[in-house]
Structure 1
């Protein structure tokens, strides 16, 4: 016979009112949105730094995908009758800045410079994928299928970019 504990299961503990959930959702959407805007301004600066042509093309493709993701997030803000707010973006933006420092530290060593670009872009895409997944789960509780679909599209693009970078890195290291 199972003992009854004083610890409720996870579903019993999650009682977020729609306003609290919306605030959580928007705060975290703000963070990923600000990081995406930062990224779309920074990525074009490293296209010419990459030596491997496939990597340059992947960076350019990623910029286009990030621009589409930003447009989707702007639509989400509209659907929620909200605007992007300035929030703490130190985490992902710090990672982006670290990436650019690492690329510059490898000046004169194109292979290492390319590997630095790949390394950091992989990390950034992984964080974005995780962020979109969590926001998708929260969006279910917001009861808005359109928002959920937009987030799923952003997740799928981030996943596609990450897969492309994995293929490029394996091709780059092997060749």
Structure 2
């Protein structure tokens, strides 16, 4: 029986490591952050519990959605400024033709639910968890923040129309509080 292509690659890689004393270099295609006009990646987020999956494309299909991401639930900038700004401006944002407002963070769904409860988001903002960072990685809008546990979302906001990015505001340093705030959002009809 002949080895499969995968086995050959593994054998070649292992023998190459022994021959040269180090691992072979592997290159990959670098992603670029999502841009205005591009479609969202087909990804599941979670609301309230791991049993409640929410597909991002299904959520945004045929709708205008404001989605904002924060580095971490219960962190000072996110809890004192970012999330409260969206809670306070939810009615105004929705009166501009927005169907839903969504907050995303690389956290577990229980943490996001508790954070939303503390900030009275019910009926205003959907608190969605990206536990593995799959959605944020697919957008290429992540940042490594070791004090917050490692890989997190950069702070950003976007207006999504029918699953395509209509507007994208990414904080220049990934964590600041300027262009992604609720009062800076301009929803175009």
Q: TM-score, normalised by structure 2?
A: 0.24
Normalized per residue, the structure richer in strand is 2
In our comparison, the structure showing a higher alpha carbon Rg is: 2
Q: TM-score, normalised by structure 1?
A: 0.25
Normalized per residue, the structure richer in helix is 1
